[in-house]
Amino acid sequence: MSISRRDEERALTRDEREIVTKTHHPALQELDDKELSSVIKLLRERRDKASGEVQRRKREMRGKAAPKGNEAATSASGNKLKLEVLATAMRRLNAERTRREEMGSQIELARRALTLKQASDAKDAPKNTRHARKGMRKAASERRQNLVRPMETGRQRKAGAVAQAKRDSR
């Protein structure tokens, strides 16, 4: 289930809101790599802190831990929403970082291909000796040919069904 921006704003503090705003689409792609890693680090810290808070509240509700304040927590729903918002923001950041890494590797591969092509265009470079020759031809099928007429197969199938029906009616 997606979380609306209004719910995000309600669940987060002001500085957390600023960090999460950077993880949404237009702002996310405008971040440079250093900013992206710093936002990832900040958000990871906030997410881990929220996760710890949710776990602590759950333990308080079950009676496994002493209450942090005067009374034990009665619910962790607000902190769960906060954790969910931070986790989805973290997923967006990780996806963007992965996308950038893949993009970088594609750029390197394209540059390498270009240098190889330029090197092959040189006059002293050996040319590729593979040629089309006669062009494309249909490949022969490796499946064995079925010599039984389809009509005969259908006749035998029907005869078997009739015989089975006779046996079943006895």
Q: What pLDDT digit, counting tens, does each position of 55-89 carry?
A: 988 888 888 888 877 776 777 777 889 999 999 99
Query: What residues contact 8, with CB distance under 8 A and at least 6 apart?
Result: 17, 20, 85
In a domain, 142, yes or no: no
In a domain, 85, yes or no: yes
* Secondary element (H or E) of residue 111: helix 77-120
Region 15-31: what's the mean pLDDT?
Answer: 90
In a domain, 170, yes or no: no
In a domain, 165, yes or no: no
Query: What residues contact 111, with CB distance under 8 A and at least 6 apart?
Result: none
Count of the separate structural domains present in the chain: 1
In a domain, 126, yes or no: no
Q: At what angle do helices 14-21 and 77-120 cross, to 10 degrees?
A: 30
What percent of the chain clears pLDDT 70, i.e. is strictly above it?
Answer: 89
In a domain, 74, yes or no: yes
Measured CA to CA in angstroms, residue 107 lies from 5, 28, 29, 95 at distances of 35, 21, 17, 18
Name the token pair of 159.
Answer: 């005869």
Cβ contact 90:47 at 8 Å: yes
CA–CA dist 20, 86 (Å, integer): 7
C-alpha Rg value of the chain to the nearest Å: 33
In this predicted structure, the answer to whether residue 20 has a pLDDT above a threshold of 70 is: yes
In a domain, 133, yes or no: no
What domain range includes position 107? 5-120
For the chain, the distance separating the N- and C-terminal CA atoms, rounded to the nearest angstrom, is: 59
In a domain, 110, yes or no: yes
Band (123; pLDDT cuts 50, 70, 90):
low
